[in-house]
Structure 1
Amino acid sequence: MAENYDVIIIGSGPGGYVAAVRAAQLGLKTAIVEREHLGGICLNWGCIPTKALLRSAEILDHSNHLKDYGLVLEGKVSADVKAVVARSRGVSARLNTGVGFLMKKNKVDVIWGEAKITKPGEILVSKSTKPVVEPQHPVPKNVKGEGTYTAKHIIVATGARPRALPGIEPDGKLIWTYFEALKPDFLPKSLLVMGSGAIGIEFASFYRSMGVDVTVVEVMPTIMPVEDAEISGIARKQLEKRGLKIFTKAKVTKVDKAANSITAHVETEDGKVQQIVADRMISAVGVQGNIENLGLEALGVKTDRGCVVIDGYGKTNVPGIYAIGDVAGPPMLAHKAEHEGVVCIEKIAGLPNVHPTDKSKVPGCTYCHPQVASVGLTEARAKELGRDIRVGRFSFVANGKAIALGEDQGLCKVIFDKKTGELLGAHMVGAEVTELIQGFVVAMNLETTEEELMHTIFPHPTVSETMKEAVLDAYGRVLNA
């Protein structure tokens, strides 16, 4: 007889495991199915290990500019790539173990294997075809295995995987995805990065800090195309100042492979093609949802462009089947997945006043050097929507803390509705802006106007003061510029 649950979640990434914890907190009998590693891509191959790599890169960058801070170090600091990678994998393993602890603490059953929804309310779990590739990421103890399980509510949280362009498919040796880029056996002398979204730019920034000759090719007019054009322009100048070569309005049309290098044929806006030779190439042209082999098509679950279609509460068109996170479409971000998971569970549990996920208030962060962070409408998008706007800016060059840090190249930009004072968007580039953007996210969630922000006391000296000054600038009241 099949074991029955209130909720079964397929996938243990940030969306899946957070949903499981919330379900358990609300008294729902809960199980989570995983085929490869607790914590999903984010903890094991995405958000967390890349930030560990970028931290090593940041320290290396600072060490190479010690004289700027009045410090002297005999000899040159160099990178031990194996040690850098080992630290990153260790950080990942620690959090992987932490998810296992959370499941045990909250009495969530872990079912190990590959799940297929055979009918609404029922899943069949078969043996996982994904091998355990790292000893620090073992299959947890005391997990359930193959069999049939039932639940009134089934949540698909299977995440996404790297997208591949036809004819330029990653091969794991010469053309990497983020999997190989996270665990290089050696540092290539030269690297071509195809795509300048968050993944591409973060790896481009990391490898440049490691001393690699990096070239970025982006088909759109600006790097980090989802960001405000003014912000991405500042970021581009700083990245190029660090030695990155960047081609925009360009595309890789063909890749020739040699024994230990690639030659990329790059077509520019004018139709000309130039050949770029590099030791390795990273394909960072986006990700696609893991919707295959789950039984969704047979059940009639609606999908669109490789993702499951849901409403603001995670419901699909088939009763009892839900989806959250990357598999449910953009923005494909861990914190969006977590929020969707909580909203979905609270709606299932019948809690009052559960608000649907508002994707317009999901912040985005890119952890390159300089960092980029944003929430809400860009200036261009606000104008496209016909909004009458006020725009405020404040440069880090006039911020005392940024100057003291030696990080005075940055900008805070805010966009308000001119009639109502509603904060429509905020965009930042510079030191630690990924830690600052939440202030604007809170303001937007509270429907804060310019008046409340102008009357908020920001601590001095902090980089956060640029946030208030940008607001003041939008209304002709800037104090320090």
Structure 2
Amino acid sequence: MKNTRSVDVAIIGAGTSGMGAYREALKHTDNIVLIEGDQYGTTCARVGCMPSKLLIAPAEARHRAEKFDAFGLRGTLPEVDGKAVMQRVRDERDRFVGFVKESVEGFKPEHRIMAKARFIDDHTLALSNGERIYAQRIVIAVGSRPSHPEFFSAAGDRLITNDHVFYWDDLPESVAVFGAGVIGLELGQALHRLGVKVHLFGRDNGAGPLTDPEVTRYAYNTFREEFPFHGNAHIERISRESNKVSITYQDNSQSEVLTETFNYLLAATGRRSNIDQLNIHNTSLALDERGIPVFDRLSMQCGDSHIFIAGDVNGDIPLLHEASDEGRLAGENAALYPNTLKRARKTPLGIAFSDPQVAMVGKSYRELSQAGDNFAIGSISFEDQGRSRVMLVNKGLMRLYGNPETGVLLGAEMIGPEHEHLAHLLAWCIQMRMTVADILQMPFYHPVIEEGLRSGLRDLLQKMGMGPQPPLRCIDCGVGA
């Protein structure tokens, strides 16, 4: 066909995974195209990881001032200038996006195509600019988009997603956040701490990604003490009224039916793969019940075909570092096909930047339980942990899972102060297949929050029948270890 361009590798999507795939494939062939159908700038930089942390940072700074009295410090709680807060969020967000754009613009111009792509068949892509691409191998990396139940549409233009929040010029007076996963938890708490009236609506009394019932319960109760958190409310009605949205609900802890009005309904109820925008049914690929190609997560290959899939589009683990790893693997294998490689995946690591932070490492409680694995559980409360009490951040519970036959650490779920760092330490240990006894031989300084981790590991060692009963308190300073 006249407007058909033949390439070795076509990559659809220029986000985190797409750029990673491009860089890897480029090591093996220069006959390559990177197709982007919307705009350059990753989900992380534009509406995800970075802008959310920009909103969380001032929220945490203001929240620290609420503890002044407990430290013996006298002062007033800082006033919130919503316009200034959101101006910094937008400015810094645009700066991060700018860096991504610079990276893409550094790619060869003849490799970049700005157009939407759809499959005609297994090798041929129709582009919205009238071109066709015939590719020997293809990488699908088109990402995902926010998703919400249809009945939320009753909120009209008062319905927003996290994609809209970071374009605000000012903070609103009130927001109803639906979804208590990572996004809803982070944004809901941050907005509350910045003076916005927030009600968080969840399901099954869950909090973030947690599956351990004890850690989940602790997390839910902790956040519920800070702001209205309806863990399993029944929603009677949603309606658009004047310039607000009205929500009628019955909280699972009350018999009374209540009605509240908010400026916005923020839907943080998950994301949907963009695979449905590619006419994937025109290929011969086997699809799962969600319409996503069946693929091998160790190679990112769809079946035994020349098509590979990476990043949020595959609906596996929607995290930036996973998308980056998947993109590089998919790009490498697309370039090398049919000599594809399988590579071991890194230890799972997920963090919610709430306060206290929520984290999961390695195998989850649910995963171990459903597999019927024999595992022991060690736990530690951070309520009496020395350094945590010193800083007045002593809220937290960590549960660690180990193999009682080998002594190897398997995973952990936790909520607590600075737990992003503890989670990283544990992820490294698990990836190295260290035993709990080996980890306890590593240095632990005093007094630090990491001593709480040591106490939890000691408890796990004892629960596995491999160590003595751990001390309840530090013999030198008298506080919880």
For residues 18 and 82 of structure 1, do their structure 2 counterparts lie closer, same or farther at Cα, with a shift above 3 Å needed?
Answer: farther
* 1:126, distance to aligned residue in structure 2 (A): 1.6
Cα displacement (A) at 1:171: 5.7
Percent identity reads 24
Q: What is the Cα deviation at residue 69 of structure 1?
A: 4.2
1:50 Cα deviation (Å)? 0.7
Partner of 2:58: 56
State the distance in 2 between where 1:458 and 1:25 align.
43
Q: 1:253 to 1:34 in 2, by over 3 A?
A: farther
Classify 1:331/1:276 alpha carbon distance in 2 versus 1 (closer, same or farther; 3 Å).
Answer: farther
Q: Structure 2 CA distance, aligned partners of 1:427 and 1:203? A: 21
Q: Secondary structure at the match of 2:383?
A: helix
Per the alignment, in what secondary structure is the counterpart of residue 304 of structure 1? coil
TM-score (norm. length: structure 2)? 0.86
Matches within 5 A, 1:19-418: 19-25=21-27, 29-73=31-75, 75-105=76-106, 107=108, 109-127=111-129, 147-169=131-153, 173-224=157-208, 226-242=210-226, 244-267=227-250, 274-279=257-262, 280-301=264-285, 302-312=287-297, 313-317=299-303, 319-350=305-336, 354-356=341-343, 358=345, 361-418=347-404
Deviation string, structure 1 residues 203-252 (Cα, Å, up to 9, x no partner): 1111110112222222224233544222222222332232x112223342
- How far apart in 2 are the matches of 1:270 and 1:60? 30
Residues 1:423 and 2:424 are matched in the alignment: no
Distance 1:275 1:29, change over 3 A: farther
Root-mean-square deviation (Å): 2.8
CA distance in 2, matches of 1:18, 1:273: 52
Is the 8 Å Cα contact of residues 195 and 284 (structure 1) preserved in structure 2?
A: yes
CA deviations 1:85-124 (Å, max 9, x no partner) are 2222222222222223333446483221211233333323
- State the Cα distance separating 1:52 from its structure 2 match: 0.9
The alpha carbon displacement at 1:296 in A equals 0.8
Quickly say closer, same or farther: Cα 1:2–1:99, change in 2 above 3 A. farther
Q: 1:258 to 1:226 in 2, by over 3 A?
A: same
Corresponding letter in the other structure for 1:60: R
1:381 offset after TM fit, Å? 4.4
Distance 1:163 1:201 in 2: 16
What secondary structure sits across from 1:169 in the alignment? helix
Using the TM superposition, give the Cα deviation of residue 349 of structure 1 relative to its aligned residue in structure 2, in angstroms: 4.3
Name 1:450's counterpart in structure 2: 436
Q: Judging changes above 3 Å, is the alpha-carbon distance between structure 1 residues 299 and 379 closer, same or farther for their aligned structure 2 residues?
A: closer
- Pairwise CA distance, 1:25: 4.3
Pair 1:441-2:427 in alignment:
yes
Q: Note the C-alpha offset of 1:185.
A: 4.2
1:198 shift after superposition: 0.8
- Following superposition, the deviation at residue 57 of structure 1 comes to 0.9
The 1:270–1:53 alpha-carbon spacing in structure 2 relative to 1, beyond 3 Å, is: closer
Aligned letter for 1:274? V
Contact 1:8 1:155 in 2 (8 A): yes
Q: Distance in 1 between matches of 2:203 and 2:102?
A: 43
Q: Report deviation, 1:357.
A: 5.7
**Distance verdict in 2 for CA 1:113–1:349, change over 3 Å:** closer
| Deviations 1:120-149 (CA, angstroms, capped at 9, x unpaired) | 33323225xxxxxxxxxxxxxxxxxx6333
Task: Give the direction of change, closer, same or farther, for the CA distance of 1:318–1:386 in structure 2 (3 Å limit).
Answer: closer
* C-alpha deviation, 1:410, in angstroms: 1.8
1:468 aligned partner: 454
Between 97-106 and 314-323, the greater mean CA deviation after superposition? 97-106
Counterparts of 2:5 and 2:367, CA distance in 1: 50
My pick for the range that moved more, 85-94 or 22-31, is 22-31
Q: Distance in 2 between matches of 1:110 and 1:185?
A: 33
How far off its partner does 1:271 sit?
Answer: 11
Query: Residue type matched to 1:294 in 2?
Result: L
> Equivalents in 1 of 2:377, 2:366: separation in Å?
11
Q: Give the CA deviation at 1:335.
A: 2.0
The one-character-per-residue Cα deviations of 1:267-315 (angstroms, maximum 9, x if unpaired) are 5559967233121221222111111231311113324325333112212
1:11-63: CA deviations, max 9, x gaps?
Answer: 12222222222333455544322222323322211111111111121112123
| Unpaired stretches in structure 1, ≥5 consecutive residues | 128-145
How far has the Cα of 1:165 moved from its partner?
Answer: 0.9
Structure 2: state its 5+ residue gaps: 463-467, 475-479
Paired with 1:442 and 1:112, the residues of 2 have a C-alpha distance of 39
Provide the TM-score with structure 1 as the length reference: 0.86
Residues 402-411 or 205-214, more deviating = 402-411
Distance 1:475 1:77, change over 3 A: same
* Cα distance in 1 between the residues matched to 2:63 and 2:254: 37
Aligned length: 460
Partners in 2 of 1:252 and 1:287 — Cα distance?
21
